[in-house]
Amino acid sequence: MKITEARVIVTCPDRNFVTLKIVTDDGLTGVGDATLNGRELAVAAYLTDHVVPLLIGRDAARIEDIWQYLYRGAYWRRGPVTMSAIAAVDTALWDIKGKAAGMPVYQLLGGRSREGVTVYGHANAETVDGILEEVAHYTALGYQAVRVQTGVPGLASTYGVSADRMFYEPADAALPTENVWSTPRYLDHVPGVFQRVREEFGPHLRLLHDVHHRLTPIEAARLGQSLEPYHLTWMEDPVPAELQEGFRLIRQHTTTPIAVGEVFNTIWDCKRLIDEQLIDYIRATVVHAGGITHLRRIFDYAAIHHVRSGSHGATDLSPVCMAAALHLDVSIPNFGLQEYMRHTEATDAVFPHTYHFADGYLHPSEEPGLGVDIDEELAARHPYRPAQLPINRLEDGTVHNW
Ligand code: CS2
Ligand code: MG
């Protein structure tokens, strides 16, 4: 089963996506997501110039060998661009493997471990009343878990709060928009929001919150303590995660569970966090952490350390990534939660797929392979649109984490 062609497809149905389509000599094709929000063209060029020429003529069945060839052969290992490119190849090859075997990919990963993949939706609003309406909306849709993001009084904008309720696209301009942040205002406001949500919806609805890398460990410890009465499922990305041992300080002060990892791209970014159980959920993804092959390794390593999966699933991860994620989510023993920010109709039209949402669960495709494709003719009608993620500054102008 030789690889005869690999096409890098950049398209922008409401937002930019990069997709790799691999073609074999027996007519099978596979797709992989290579989207890196704000840096899409870097991955597209990496694939086009440095990966595709190496793939032609290789045996598409040799997934592990090709993964090692691209990882070790890069010499300059790791990093989001390299690992997103490798991820796209890996995902496309698993798609082909499933089609060749006539089975959905989850069957090749050991079969089902659960009936459905529990997902969480995104309730966000400037005001608490708005948030209560949004949480009610998601619970009415059947969601069993809801992330809550709130405006902060005195701040014009903050992460996760958007005008559009069902979709959240932070890469909103060709050059970074600048937001202003205040940790004191944030820390003063957030606990009261969760108090109101718990008063309205009771103790059992699974609630999550994304801090989005904005605190120091001691500030995160304070936030975690203040949220303990509201029993969150997780506090996400409390601090930037380069200093993995920095999470020890948070852990010493609070029992609020911690989820980290959407910006990670190999096991090395999170090994200490997992080794020392400094986190409770690992959020690495198929598209940014080297594909199904490497993400499975991360999840298996996490499983022997009481750490569960909680993969990122924002709109800037394409339906190809979501389709692949669900095959892992439904089969691994230590599944936790899957993020599910819905894509727009235009995006779904470009990426026809057969995963579906029902009663708070996403269900992977039962078709051979991943159960997703890209309509290349439709994709061609949506040209790339330059878009960057915002920059955050403190009120005194200091650059901060967005
Ligand atoms: C967020 C993302 O979904 C999340 O948990 O962290 O919205 C993130 O900001 C974007 O994926 C960045 O492109
Ligand atoms: Mg996040």
351-372 residue pLDDT tens: 999 999 998 999 999 999 999 9
Stretch 187-216: mean pLDDT: 98
Give me the domain span that covers residue 60.
Answer: 3-104
Tell me the mean pLDDT in the region 259-286. 98
Which residue's alpha carbon is nearest to atom 13 within ligand 1? Answer: 37
Give the DSSP per-residue string, 7-52. EEEEE-SSS-EEEEEEEETTS-EEEEE---TT-HHHHHHIIIIIIH
Per-residue model confidence as pLDDT tens digits over 214-237: 999 999 999 999 999 999 999 999
219 and 74 housed in the same domain = no
Q: Does residue 353 lie in a domain region? A: yes
Total number of domains constituting the chain = 2
Confidence of residue 9 (pLDDT cuts 50, 70, 90): very high
Pocket test residue of 39, 167, 210 for ligand 1, highest count of atoms within 8 A of CB? 210
Q: What is the DSSP string of 257-306?
A: -EEE-TT--SGGGTHHHHHTT--SEE---TTTTTHHHHHHHHHHHHHTTT
Per-residue pLDDT band for 283 (boundaries 50, 70, 90) equals very high
Dist. CA 229 → ligand 1 center (Å): 26
Q: Give, using CA atoms, the residue closest to atom 10 of ligand 1.
A: 314
User: Is the domain of 90 the same as that of 116?
Assistant: no
In short, whether 213's Cβ falls inside 6 Å of ligand 1 is: no
Supply the DSSP symbol for 61. Answer: T
289 and 342 assigned to the same domain: yes
For the stretch 113-146, pLDDT in tens is 999 999 999 999 999 999 999 999 999 999 999 9
Q: What percent of the chain has pLDDT over 90?
A: 98
Whether 12 and 124 map to the same domain: the answer is no
Q: Is residue 393 part of a domain?
A: no
Q: How far is CA 110 from CA 87, 103, 328, 332, 353, in A?
A: 20, 12, 10, 8, 22
Do both 212 and 130 map to the same domain?
A: yes
Ligand 1 within 6 A of 210 CB? yes
CB atoms under 10 Å from CB of 152, counted, come to 22
Residues that are catalytic: 159, 212
pLDDT at 136: 98
Contact 282, 307 (CB under 8 A): yes
Q: Is the pLDDT of residue 166 over 80?
A: no
- Residues within 5 A (CB) of ion ligand 2: 210
Q: Is residue 374 part of a domain?
A: no
Region 239-254: mean pLDDT is 97
Q: Is 170 in the pocket of ligand 1 (CB under 6 A)?
A: yes
Residues 182 and 302 in one domain: yes
pTM, full prediction: 0.98
Closest CA to 391 of 381, 382, 383, 401: 401
Distance 394 CA to ligand 1 centre (A): 20
Q: Is residue 30 domain-resident?
A: yes
171 and 319 part of one domain: yes
Ligand closest to 169 (CA) is 1
Q: Are residues 193 and 56 in the same domain?
A: no
65 and 31 belong to one structural domain: yes
Report how far ligand 2's centroid is from the alpha carbon of 267 (Å). Answer: 18
pLDDT over 80 at 164, yes or no: no
Ligand 1 in contact with 316 (CB < 6 A)?
A: yes
* Beta carbon of 280 within 6 Å of any ligand 1 atom: no
User: What CATH number corresponds to the domain at position 25?
Assistant: 3.30.390.10
- Taking the centre of ligand 1 as the mean of its atom positions, its distance from the CA of residue 312, in whole angstroms, is 7
What pLDDT sits at residue 168? 81
Mean pLDDT value across the chain: 97
The rounded distance, in Å, linking the Cα atoms of 206 and 209 is 10
Q: How far is the CA of 312 from the centre of ligand 2 (A)?
A: 7
Region of residue 94 (phi > 0: left; psi between -120 and 50: alpha; otherwise: beta): alpha
42 and 126 both lie in a single domain: no
In which band, very low, low, confident or very high, does the pLDDT at 108 lie, cut at 50, 70 and 90?
very high
